[in-house]
Amino acid sequence: MKKYIYYLKASLWICYILFSLSCCTSKTNPILNQMVPMLSEDYCRIAVLPFLNESHYKQGDIILQKVFTAELIKAGDYSIAQEGDILKLYQQIKIYSGHSPDYEQLRIIADRLNVQLLITGRIIEMNENLVNLSVNPELALSVQIFDAKTGTILWTTYHRKNGEQYRTLLHFGKINSITTLAQIMTQEVIEKWISEGFKKCTH
């Protein structure tokens, strides 16, 4: 009987810890709005275009573009257009820093880069706040997926997190850099897409 009570208490304690861990980690998931249903075909050729940076974090747009490109490659073996080719094309068709391509420019970009999808977005907020002598990064972003042939928007995704939301009960796993936070949030966005029908490239 004593052994049974001991195991019962141990089990309850483990359940409490697991519940606490789940509560102390992030509760906010990416918010996906499907404007047009995603086609069933494989999307292998993708261009991640420069993000608009509405925050005061310098080079935040560059960081996010590089992170999103890297995470897409890892997630589905997609063929991603080279950043240098995109920047060169932006110069040629006169898309200046701080501006987004319009409908016609999106179609030109897609044609020149020979891609099926265009991904772009904006950084709404990006900070590295100092809290109790510890850095707590914060990021809010909006991401759009465009059909390359038509230039029409397919999906939009909003996501917002800060490093403290990843802190567990035992203080493991806290995120203290904006780059790491961007990587994890990007993974969550892509996982959400895949769970909703965004196809991995099978070549």
pLDDT at residue 36, rounded to an integer: 85
pLDDT per residue over 81-120, tens digit each? 999 999 999 999 999 888 889 888 998 999 999 999 999 9
Confidence of residue 8 (pLDDT cuts 50, 70, 90): very low
Neighbours of 41 (CB within 10 A): 8
Q: Is the pLDDT of residue 68 over 90?
A: yes
Which alpha helices (DSSP H) does 143-201 contain, by range? 178-195
CATH topology of domain 26-195: Rossmann fold (3.40.50)
Q: Is the pLDDT of residue 51 over 60?
A: yes
Rounded CA-CA distance 167/164 in Å is: 5
Average pLDDT score, the chain = 81
- The answer to whether 88 and 101 are in contact (CB under 8 A) is no
Neighbours of 124 (CB within 10 A): 16
pLDDT per residue over 172-195, tens digit each? 567 888 999 999 999 999 999 999
Kind of pairing between the strands at 45-48 and 117-131: parallel
Burial of 126 by CB count in 10 Å (0-12 exposed, 13-18 middle, 19+ buried)? buried
Spans of all domains in the chain: 26-195
pLDDT at residue 202, rounded to an integer: 72
Candidates 188, 124, 187, 120; CA nearest to 154 is 120
pLDDT per residue over 22-46, tens digit each? 444 445 789 999 988 776 667 789 9
pLDDT at residue 169, rounded to an integer: 45
Rounded CA-CA distance 165/16 in Å is: 19
Spell out the residues 6+ positions from residue 182 whose beta carbon is closer than 8 angstroms to its own.
63, 64, 67, 139
Q: Is the pLDDT of residue 18 over 90?
A: no
Which alpha helices (DSSP H) does 37-98 contain, by range? 60-76, 83-92
- The answer to whether 129 and 142 are in contact (CB under 8 A) is no
CA angle 160, 87, 194 (to 5 degrees): 40
